[in-house]
Amino acid sequence: MKFRIVHVTSYDYDAEVWLEPHYLRFRPRTTAYLSRESFDLSFASEPAGRREIIDEESNVMEFLWFSGLTRKLQIRAESVIESREYNPLGFILYPSSFNQLPVSYDKEQRSLLSAYILKTAIPVALVHFGGNVQSASSYDTIQYLLNLTNRIHDDFAVVYREVGPPLAPGVTFDGKEGSCRDLSWMMILLLRHQGFAARFTSGYFYFAMDAAAYELHAWVEVFLPGSGWLGLDPSHGILAGNTHFPIASSAHYAHTMPVTGGIRGESASTLKTQLSIEEI
C-alpha cells in the first residue's frame, strides 16, 4: 500500500513576533514495514536557514532559524510512503528468560536503555491494576503486554484533546478516560515501574476500513530482546501494525512534539492543524 500524507500546521499571532529557532518533527520513520519515497516541507514564509539533524535518540528533525518579524508560521509537510505486510508478533524472545515476568535486562542493556527504564512514582491503584493483569496473564511476558493493552482500551474512554501535555497518570487512571497521549504516558510509567524499558512514540494512524479514517496519534513502544521496540496502542487495544506511521520516539513525550520552539514578543497565538492521508 502507498499513502500520501499532508499535514499542515499554522500558528497565527495577533501581533508581530520574532520567531526563535524551531525543531520540526514531521518526517515518517523508515521501519521494517515502512519505506519513505518522498518528503517535502514548505512554508508560508521561508526560514532564514534550515538543517536536517538527528537528535539524541536518533530521530530525524528539521532545525529552522528565522529573521525578521512575522504574524504567521505555517508549515506544510507532505510525505509519500509505502507500507508492506508486517506481523508484529513474528519474533521469539531471546534469551528465553524474557518470556516470563519480571523481565531483567543485562548490565549493558540497562546502560543503553537507562532513560527508558527510569521509574517515576505512580498511584498505588495503578500499580495494583498492572499487578492484577500480570497475574491473570500467568506472568507470561507477551500475553501480559497484549492483555494490558486490551484492558486499558476496554476500561478507559478515549477522548480528544488537541493541545496540552499528557495528564498525570493518576488523573488519567482515576478519571478512566484520556487522549491517546494520556493513555500512552500512563501505560509507559506503569511498564517502567514493572521493569520494562518503554518509550513514547508519536506519528499517524490510518484506519483501513470501508470508510477510511486517520489521525495524529501516540502509542507505546517496549524494548524486548528478539523483538526490539514492540509497538503497543492502548487507545485501540492493538499492537502497532503497518498502518501506524511513526515519526519520533523518546523517553519523554516532550521530545516527540511536531513543533518545538518559542517566540519573542507579546502576542496571543491560534493553532490550526489539518491532516489528510490517502491511499494512492
How many CB atoms within 10 Å of residue 182?
Answer: 27
pLDDT-derived band at 162 (thresholds 50, 70, 90) equals: confident
How many CB atoms within 10 Å of residue 33?
Answer: 18
pLDDT-derived band at 112 (thresholds 50, 70, 90) equals: very high
pLDDT-derived band at 255 (thresholds 50, 70, 90) equals: very high
How many CB atoms within 10 Å of residue 161?
Answer: 13
* pLDDT tens profile 190-200: 999 999 999 99
What is the pTM for the complete model shown?
Answer: 0.96
All residues at 6 or more sequence positions from 117 whose CB lies less than 8 Å from its CB, including other chains: 105, 110, 192, 195, 196, 197
* pLDDT tens profile 78-89: 999 999 999 999
Looking at the predicted structure, is the pLDDT value of residue 222 above 80? yes
Q: Whole-number mean pLDDT of the chain? A: 96
